[in-house]
Copies of this chain bind each other. A is one copy, B any other.
Amino acid sequence: MARRAAQRSNSRAATLEDVARLAGVSIATASKALNGRTHVSATTRTTVLEAAARLSYSPNALAQGLRAVRTGIVGLLTSDLEGRLSIPILMGAEDAFGVGRTSVLLCDARGDAIREARHLETLLSRRVDGLIVVGARPDPRPSVGRDLPVPVVYAYAPSEDPDDLSLVSDNVSGGRMAVRHLIDVGRRSMAHITGDPSYGAAQDRAKGALAELAEQGLELAGGRVYFGSWSEAWGRSATRMLLSQTRGVDAVFAGSDQIARGVIDTLHGAGLDVPGDVAVIGFDNWEIFTTSSPPPLSSIDMNLETLGRVAAQRLSAALGGDLRTGVESLPCRLVPRESTTSG
């Protein structure tokens, strides 16, 4: 059912001039009254506020942004198809800026450099106050450019250019944390099954895990890190391999929650209890996997909201003149659940 456009109730949004006229004052006074500036008497102020309310006046942010130094818009440039990363980061940034103070313009480049350049151009022409760039995988990515007119923060995936500012999760300490937790719950013989070795994150997590083991005087079960792919299927086949090669394994540190899922499945299939016989901990703390798995999966959370929040803070600081460069690592967080804590 289609109908011709009815005359919209307010064919034109009310402007400050309309408010001023209704209140019987000048535009300047109306502006001052609405913005809580001085040099306006109390009675005049209420008159103006009433007029504004009556017209349901809403200031034109475009005009404000045109005049002001800040527009109150930040761009979020992502290549993360699923939104798995961008959304938490977005929410953290929103929190840090404060609701209503800043809006986020979200662009997905879909891994395409051309599209990214286009989006970048659009964002700059919209005069965003700053830019957060979120990569799809946690490895260094090309810089979007050195001499942009606005500050840029790279989140999750660092920039290849050391003169940019990047925020990443500290995967080394995350790996440490996982092993430390397994030790704390009394495990001694643990394997590490993880994803694609070409990912820096996989290497870092393994490095942290090995370092912690070494410090505790323990050896890695199976004698090596099982690198493979970030899939449940790999979790399954690696676990089969592990079980056939080694005995007495009492814990597995999986490089992702998906892998952990495959690990648990296979352990169950072999008649082993989790965590009774083997404790399992994942990485990412992806709710959808950690809570639906039987038993609920312990995991390491990368604190993506915090990443977003800090990104927002760094952006604000940069606008205030405090520029930083280099890669900043933010700590992960342990989320223990029943797959490691039997009780």
Contacts and interface: CB of A to CB of B under 8 A. Distances in A.
Contact of A106 (B71, B81, B106): B106
Contacts of A84: 83
Copies of this chain, complex-wide, total 2
Interface stretch (A5-13, A172-180, A199-207): A5-13
B103 A126 contact: yes
Nearest to A265: B265
Interface stretch (A25-33, A185-193, A320-328): A320-328
Contacts of A288: 82, 258, 288
B125 A108 contact: no
A105 B107 CA distance: 9
Contacts of A104: 105-107
A2 B83 contact: no
A233 B126 contact: no
Interface string A285-309: 0011000111000000000000000
A198 interface: no
A149 B104 CA distance: 21
Given A10-B149, A83-B83, A294 B127 contact: no
Contact of A90 (B103, B106, B258, B293): B106
Contact of A65 (B13, B62, B231): B62
Interface string A123-149: 111110000000000000000000101
Interface of A: 1-6, 8-10, 13, 58-63, 65-66, 71, 73, 76, 81-84, 86-87, 90-91, 94, 99-100, 103-108, 110, 115, 118-119, 121-127, 147, 149, 231-233, 236, 258, 261-262, 265, 287-288, 292-294, 318, 321-326
